[in-house]
Structure 1
């Protein structure tokens, strides 16, 4: 089953603090992306909330995510993030029962998702 990890980390500071964190963590991000089962792995600066980093990860399976938690890249990333003053944390794991495209063949958002159809 596909797994998504998503949420945010908030640090004392502003956008430049977040930029330093992300730039300094680029090797950890790249290493995580190279792990078995990693579909996506990204940190980004929240454009509306200074000091907030949005986190998004996608893994092929629960096992791949659990292996990531034991991988050197994860441990190095945790050590890296401890260099700044964390003031808020909200990252969750989501299991995904199915995956469908957002857009139909016509290029517009679909009117049906997982069997639920938008009424007229």
Structure 2
């Protein structure tokens, strides 16, 4: 089964994105309990205060589909819009291979084996 990741950014011109993330705790924390959720990470960019970064990992396309049609996604979308979202680019990726970056000797490797 292929895992799915989502990652990207959301901007809030003139606003503190980290504060907006903290305000979203009520939506973020319970999402971890949704079936198939592996990671659901939202964070403010330390160098661009108006930008937040999104990283999600789901066990399957079906798990992501259930999340996207569920009440937590709907509530989070409304919260972000109400918070003054001015731009976004979040993409999804099918994960077909996954390996550690560092090999057994501690050296980083770009290639897959």
TM-score by length of 1: 0.86
Superposed structure 1 runs of 4+ greater than 6 Å apart: none
Pick the structure with greater CA Rg. 1
Task: State the alpha-carbon separation in 1 of the partners of residues 47 and 19 from structure 2.
Answer: 18
Q: Is the 8 A contact 1:43 1:56 kept in 2?
A: yes
The match for 1:118 is none
1:90 matched residue in structure 2: 89
The corresponding residue for 1:113 is 111
Structure 1 portions without partners, runs of 5+:
116-120
| Partner in structure 1 of residue 27 of structure 2 | 28
1:40 aligns with 2:42: no
* Structure with more strand by fraction: 1
Alpha-carbon distance in 1 for matches of 2:28, 2:75 = 10
The answer for unaligned runs of 5 or more in structure 2 is none
Aligned residues: 112
Q: Determine helix, strand or coil for the equivalent of 2:106.
A: coil
Aligned to 2:79: 80
Alpha-carbon distance in structure 2 between the residues aligned to 1:70 and 1:95: 19
Scaled by the length of structure 2, what TM-score is found?
0.91
| Contact 1:100–1:113 (Cα < 8 Å) also in 2 | no
1:109 is displaced (CA, Å) by 1.0
TM-aligned CA deviation for residue 50 of structure 1: 2.3
Conserved 8 A contact 2:18-2:45: no
- Calculate the aligned-residue CA RMSD, in Å: 1.3
